[in-house]
Amino acid sequence: MSYTMIAFIAALGGLLFGYDTGVISGALPFLKDEFQLDPLMLGSLTSSALAGAAIGATVAGGLADKYGRKPVILIVAVIFFTGAIISAIATVLSVLVIGRILVGIGIGVASMLTPLYLAETAPPAQRGALVSLNQLMITVGILVSYLVGYLLAQGNGWRWMLGLGALPGLVLFVGMLPLPESPRWLAGMGRTEEARDMLLVLRRNHQAADEELHQLRSDLQREERVKRMAHLKESRLDRPMIIGVGLAIFQQVTGINTVIYFAPTIFKAAGLGSTSATILATAGIGAVNVLMTLVAIKLIDNAGRRALLLTGLAGMTVSLVVLGLGFMMGAEGGGALGWVTALSLAAYVGFFAIGLGPVFWLLIAEIFPLATRGRGTSAATFANWASNLVVALTFLLLIDSIGPPSTFFLYAALSVVAFIFTYRLVPETKGKTLEQIEADWETVA
């Protein structure tokens, strides 16, 4: 099996993530009628998956460090499958909430382990592109969920919308069975022979496998030395943790999911009154997200992580300011100004898709030292889902209290802070092996 094939199968974890991120907005109006939900219950239902994801992200890293990456991914596929089926057949609210929490746990675990597995198995020169297949699948999942939501928008359609999520769960499980365990994790556990076998499966070339194993071994020896120098170990860990958790928070508090979850609401507020215009605009947003992620994949191993992050953040800031100004000048009236608003929203999503979207997930899989990679990635992923939850809970409140212009200006201001943070702290990792990235922290400290 070629490595690209392996990467595509593992990246199905991203498809689960994306599909379920997007599908709830299409299902919500029907769930509201079926279960007679008041706004508070609606909010809790939406948040249950996000809270589940935060829980999943917290436990995943420790488990993956202890038992390996592959068994945990297999378990996740089962949890996800079960949660999707339970949600689809639920007849009372409590069962639906349990289903959604299970799905959430699945997404939370998949969101951290998919990039981690890809980063640990990919050849360094293409690691950026291959890990970003995860983000590509996320965006494809979101787009598919919008389309499914549109096609099934009647009566009991919500059961199919939620149940269809079981399908990628099943494919992930079956596809993952023959894939190799991460050689880096095996080597870290002292299982060097198995690590070599897996490298051979991945590289299909004895010399390349031996060279990589040699590199891994010397890295592990260096790590042992470093561990004995406790203070150095501490400072080596602090820096990646600040960067990982910081980027996790910035990825969410700059507002992306207000668009992904509430695009139709924003478009209505911007005066795109007719349902068809709103649907068209929302599908357009989903398509821009996929296309610009493809552009990022093309550039990420050449232009590098920093250039994409900084360009993306600058573009997001400008688009958000234009968006806020559009609302300030009365976009609600519709017409040309309404479309300016829609276009700036599309530009904002496009800039997210070439920067913070893929680069955040890539960096948190790259920057932590092997010994704590699972736990470090977990902490950053937890911070990401917790911030996602906070933004989802506060967005509509902000729109009601301070109004759309100030809300978008606030996200613009946070994008500026994210730009400065990135400029000052985020290292360039393109082309380096994970072991070189790890060694570089010693010089930083």
Using CB under 6 A as the criterion, which residues of the chain lie in contact with ligand BGC when the complex forms? 21, 135, 138-139, 142, 251, 256-257, 260, 289, 357, 361, 384, 388
CB of 259: closest distance to ligand BGC in angstroms? Answer: 9
Structure tokens at 7: 């990467």
Q: What's the distance, Cα to Cα, between the start and end of the chain in Å?
A: 41
The CA-based angle 250-256-259, given to 5 degrees, is: 160
Which residues, 6+ apart, have CB-to-CB distance to 343 below 8 Å? none
Closer to ligand BGC at the Cβ: 51 or 216? 51
The Cα–Cα gap between 117 and 73 comes to 9
Q: Side-chain half-sphere of 379: how many Cα atoms within 13 Å?
A: 15
Q: How far is the CB of 148 from ligand BGC (least distance, A)?
A: 16
Instruction: Report in angstroms how near the CB of residue 232 gets to ligand BGC at its nearest.
Output: 32
> In the complex with ligand BGC, which residue's Cβ is closer, 77 or 292?
292
Torsion from C-alpha of 409, 29, 167, 350, nearest 10 degrees: -20
Cβ proximity to ligand BGC, 18 vs 68, nearer residue:
18
Q: Which is nearer to ligand BGC, 112 or 198 (CB)?
A: 112
What is residue 124's DSSP assignment?
A: G
Q: How far is the CB of 228 from ligand BGC (least distance, A)?
A: 37
Which token pair is 68?
A: 């390996």
In the complex with ligand BGC, which residue's Cβ is closer, 202 or 354?
354
Tokens 């980027």 belong to which residue? 247
Report d(CA 74, CA 66) in Å as an integer. 15
Q: How far is the CB of 185 from ligand BGC (least distance, A)?
A: 24
180/194 Cα distance (integer angstroms): 10
Q: How far is the CB of 216 from ligand BGC (least distance, A)?
A: 29
Nearer to ligand BGC, 378 or 388 (CB): 388
